Amino acid sequence: MTSTVEFLSTLPLFHSLSPQELEALEGIVEKSSCKKGDVIFSRGEVRDRLRIVHSGRVKLEMADAVTADWDEFTTIFGPGQFMGEATLLQDGMIHRATCTAVSDGAFLLLRRAKFLGFAATHPEAAGKVLMAVGAYMFQRVSGAGSNAISAPLAVAYSTGRKRMEHDLLGDREIPAECYFGVQTLRARENFHVSGTTLRSFPVFVRSLAEVKKAAAIANARLGLLDATLADAIGQACDEIREGHWLEQFVVDMIQGGAGTSTNMNANEVIANRALELMGRPKGDYAVLHPNNHVNLSQSTNDAYPTAVRIAALHSIPVLTDALTELCVSLGEKAREFSDVIKMGRTQLQDAVPMTLGQEFEAFRVTFEEDIARIREAKALFYEVNMGGTAIGTGLNAHKDYGAEVVKALREVTGLPIVRAANLIEATPDTGLFVFFSGVLKRLAVKLSKTSNDLRLLSSGPRCGFGEINLPPMQPGSSIMPGKVNPVIPEVVNQVCFQVIGNDLTITMAAEAGQLQLNVMEPVIVFNLFQSVTILTRAVRSLDRLCVRGISANRDVCRRYVENSIGLVTALNPHIGYENSTRIAMEALATGESVFNLVLKSGLLSKEKLEEVLRPENMIARS
């Protein structure tokens, strides 16, 4: 069997083929090489082949595709990963992405035209390939728990083949296609709780990989880990950091064991992908072991909380960027509405005049304050307990490992990470999460209050305030024609309620810690990342789907001012509080305007009254 056939046999698309069918397929497979910087294909070109990365790495960029957080899609593919598989199912498809080589490498190519010829002579083998492609495509479309366009090489089907793995509880069969192992399997069976798995928070999975890569680098530098193994672990971690293998992180976010199942899920996926990159089968742990090599010098109790902190450091700028964009939009609206006179209200009652621009400027300022508070909290996440292992004493770690792994973490993440001064204190301490969750709750409260204001100001359109118009997003009723609801502020309100509830859960879980470890960290992590994620999306939704499209009903705002009893407040310095109160009560009782009642009373001349009651003169411009 040739090396090409051996390589093809490792690919999920061809797992079902017999050795003879693989040899026949090899006859139509072409080989191609590339240099760093080469453009492999460009957006808009016709897809006519399946490309399999044999060696090296390539980058895919899709400018018009965005993730759930509105970020542009980009990822890197490495050995054993493939692109353009859909061309085997359908002709005339167009590349939506541009592919560029980030290193020298080689491809195996399977052209559609040649595959159709292969199908004519080997229909059963071609049918197996097409079924695998179809299953894989379905998994990508369904998202595999992640963005559909960024779910590369998902395990979308099973060949029925198994491998045996062993742990202290005995032997278990694992589907051959799976990169996770026996400890992940047990955790998956044990924890059917939230229905939200690790893969739902890609930033956390990415950060776990960064911790594992840094540990491998540190162990290799200290002579504790063979360089070949360290390189394979590092490459597997890099692929995970790029968004690959996300579907393999299947453990529920809420779990017993203080995060051990999360740690082992990462260890097993990294070990098995590293083995594959070394040309070894999954499960060949005598060569590279999840515990002995990937988890070397670590405990869940330092690797897991360190990954949480790094994930927070990656997530916080995304949230503050979203808030900054919202502030820009609010500032633009403040300038647009700077000449729109309206009534201010206190306790839902008429108060004194202001501009709609001043109201939106106040919204902007309140969120700028939150950006500052979040950035202050971010600085606390730089301190980690890596090297402390189980309880902070550093048992089973080299004396220089702690300093070395923190150095490697800085290199891998680009973050100014430092080691905690007292690892025994740092290991069970979850006070940071309580503090940060409180900052998020503050933002949620203010975001919800602003959403309430937008709903009130846009209420009506004819029997409410009606001072602003929110952009119509969808029909609002199945029974009332023409009704349009403020759905974006409504969903933001609900997100904020969830975040406020999450804060209580985090507080209770932090309090429940005992002695040298807080075993409740998984529920803290789940709620913390849920809060950051849904707040970020809510802020972007409010900005892009609501605030940017708001318009003012200028005439309505002006009419309210002119008919408001609140104008009488401006008369206090001129006619006194008692006279002003009498005028206000009479206006309420008779429906007559404040202007006419003051004229009738002879308290002020018409000229003076016009000057005093001009709304523009009652608005502070500072």
Q: What is the pLDDT of residues 73-102, one digit of tens each?
A: 677 888 888 888 888 888 877 888 888 998
How far, in Å, CA of 177 to CA of 241, rounded? 21
Lowest mean pLDDT among 17-31, 385-399, 589-603: 589-603
Residue 621, pLDDT score: 58
What is the average pLDDT score of the chain? 88
* Stated pTM of the model: 0.81
Residue 147, pLDDT score: 33
Segment of 143-152, 184-193, 287-296, 482-491 carrying the highest mean pLDDT: 287-296
Question: What is the band of 475 on the pLDDT scale with cuts at 50, 70, 90?
Answer: confident
Residue 73, pLDDT score: 63
Residue 10, pLDDT score: 79
Q: Name the residue type at position 146.
A: S
How far, in Å, CA of 294 to CA of 274, rounded? 10
Higher local confidence (pLDDT), 135 or 597? 597
Q: Average pLDDT for residues 353-380, to the nearest whole number?
A: 95
Residue 1, pLDDT score: 42
Task: Kindly report, residue by residue over 192-243, the tens digit of the pLDDT.
Answer: 899 999 999 999 999 999 999 999 999 999 999 999 999 999 999 999 998 8
Q: Name the residue type at position 402.
A: G
Higher local confidence (pLDDT), 171 or 12? 171
Where does residue 471 fall: left (phi above 0), alpha (psi -120 to 50 degrees), or beta otherwise? beta
Residue 614, pLDDT score: 77
Question: What is the band of 160 on the pLDDT scale with cuts at 50, 70, 90?
Answer: low
Q: Average pLDDT for residues 282-305, to the nearest whole number?
A: 96
Under 8 Å between Cβ of 580 and 569: yes
Question: In this structure, what DSSP letter does residue 177 have?
Answer: T
Contacts 24+ apart (CB under 8 A), 451-458: 451/489, 451/490, 451/492, 451/493, 451/496, 451/542, 452/489, 452/493, 453/359, 453/363, 454/486, 454/489, 454/546, 454/550, 455/486, 455/489, 455/490, 457/359, 458/486, 458/550
Question: What would the two tokens of residue 87 be?
Answer: 């061309």
Q: Average pLDDT for residues 379-385, to the nearest whole number?
A: 95
Residue 191, pLDDT score: 93
Residue 562, pLDDT score: 79
Q: Average pLDDT for residues 64-73, to the nearest whole number?
A: 49
420, pLDDT greater than 90: yes
Question: What is the band of 153 on the pLDDT scale with cuts at 50, 70, 90?
Answer: very low
395, pLDDT greater than 50: yes
Lowest mean pLDDT among 57-66, 146-155, 478-487: 146-155
159, pLDDT greater than 80: no
Q: For the chain, give the percent of residues with pLDDT over 90.
A: 59
Q: Average pLDDT for residues 148-152, to the nearest whole number?
A: 33
Question: What is the band of 2 on the pLDDT scale with cuts at 50, 70, 90?
Answer: low
CA distances from 126 to 68, 115, 122, 158, 229 (A): 36, 8, 6, 17, 37
Q: For the chain, give the percent of residues with pLDDT over 70.
A: 93
Residue 154, pLDDT score: 38
150, pLDDT greater than 60: no
Helix (H, G, I), strand (E, B) or coil at 41: strand
Question: What is the band of 152 on the pLDDT scale with cuts at 50, 70, 90?
Answer: very low
Q: Which helix (H) or strand (E) holds 508?
A: helix 487-511
Residues 6+ apart with CB under 8 A from 142: 148
Higher local confidence (pLDDT), 61 or 111? 111
Residue 144, pLDDT score: 42
Task: Kindly report, residue by residue over 235-271, the tens digit of the pLDDT.
Answer: 999 999 988 888 899 999 999 999 999 999 999 999 9
Distance spanning both ends of the chain, measured CA to CA = 82
38, pLDDT greater than 80: yes
Question: What would the two tokens of residue 474 be?
Answer: 């969808």
Tokens 């399999």 found at: 52
Q: Which residues belong to the active site?
A: 477
Residue 13, pLDDT score: 82
Task: Kindly report, residue by residue over 535-580, the tens digit of the pLDDT.
Answer: 999 999 999 999 999 999 999 998 888 788 877 788 888 889 988 8
**By C-alpha distance, which of 43, 130, 28, 132 is closest to 88?**
130
How far, in Å, CA of 85 to CA of 611, rounded? 76
